[in-house]
């Protein structure tokens, strides 16, 4: 099975994360740890290259089991973020998308472009029907992505995620393959 990759444009590519990317992903997380740890519970466990390698290996197992795609976002061959299609529910034809980007690259449309391409892939190649994105209620930057891409805000999941010894509300967004705005 060849490893998944997708060209977004001449400088941006999504590529399945592999153990060879462990050091670069670890350094990206380390550099942005304070910011990312506010929103992502798993960031605290990426405290070494070895732990990052274990995490990437588990993501690869999910990929080979057809239960997820965990890709790096590369700009001019440099890892600057990640995007995932996870929790694929083949029975109900749905999955969720997650993403992160180096703070230096925020506000440049990189995540919006990457998510948009992953949406098209999910609907046209995987033939799923529903995509969800969950964002912390207070994470305005992350919430802008599904809002720009025409997702429907379905509601707020109260105290749905436990990060840094406190509960956080999550906003649930969805997009259906039958929505004509994608």
- CATH code for the domain of 68: 3.40.630.30
pLDDT, residue 59, reads 95
Q: Which positions ≥6 away from 43 have C-beta within 8 Å? A: 29, 33, 36, 37
Residue 72 in domain: yes
The residue range of the domain holding 167 is: 5-176
Tell whether the model's pLDDT for residue 78 goes beyond 60.
yes
User: Per the domain annotation, does 45 fall within a domain?
Assistant: yes
Residue 181 lies inside a defined structural domain of this protein: no
The pLDDT tens digits of the residues spanning 96-149 come to 999 999 999 999 999 999 999 999 999 999 999 999 999 999 999 999 999 999
pLDDT of residue 182: 60
What is the four-CA torsion angle of 46, 50, 54, 56, rounded to 10 degrees? 70
Q: Classify residue 182: in a domain, yes or no.
A: no
pLDDT confidence bin for 2, thresholds 50/70/90: low
Question: Do the domain assignments include residue 26?
Answer: yes
- Classify residue 43: in a domain, yes or no: yes
- For residue 163, what is the enclosing H or E element? strand 152-163
Residue 114: which residues within 8 A CB-CB, separation 6 or more? Answer: 8, 12, 14, 73, 81, 83, 99
pLDDT of residue 49: 96
pTM recorded for the entire structure? 0.93
64 in a structural domain? yes
pLDDT band at 1 (very low <50, low <70, confident <90, very high): very low
Q: How many domains does the chain contain in total?
A: 1
* pLDDT of 42 higher than 90: no
Mean pLDDT lowest among 7-16, 32-41, 169-178: 32-41
pLDDT-above-70 percentage for the chain? 98
């Amino acid at each position: 099975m060849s490893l998944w990759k997708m060209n977004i444009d001449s400088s941006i590519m999504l590529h399945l994360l592999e153990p060879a990317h462990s050091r670069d992903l670890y350094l990206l997380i380390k550099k942005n740890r304070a910011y990312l740890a506010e929103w992502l519970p798993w960031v605290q466990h990426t405290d070494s290259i070895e732990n990052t390698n274990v995490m990437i290996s588990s993501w690869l197992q999910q990929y080979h089991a057809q239960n997820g795609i965990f890709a790096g976002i590369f700009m001019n061959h440099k890892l600057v973020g990640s995007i995932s299609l996870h929790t694929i529910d083949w029975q109900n034809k749905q999955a969720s998308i997650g993403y992160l980007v180096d703070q230096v690259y925020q506000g440049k449309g990189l995540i919006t472009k990457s998510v948009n391409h992953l949406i098209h892939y999910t609907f046209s190649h995987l033939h799923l029907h529903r995509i969800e994105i969950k964002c912390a209620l207070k994470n305005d930057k992350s919430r802008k992505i599904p809002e720009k891409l025409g997702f429907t805000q379905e509601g707020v999941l109260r105290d749905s995620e436990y990060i840094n010894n406190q509960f956080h509300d999550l906003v649930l967004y969805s997009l259906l393959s039958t929505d004509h705005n994608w």
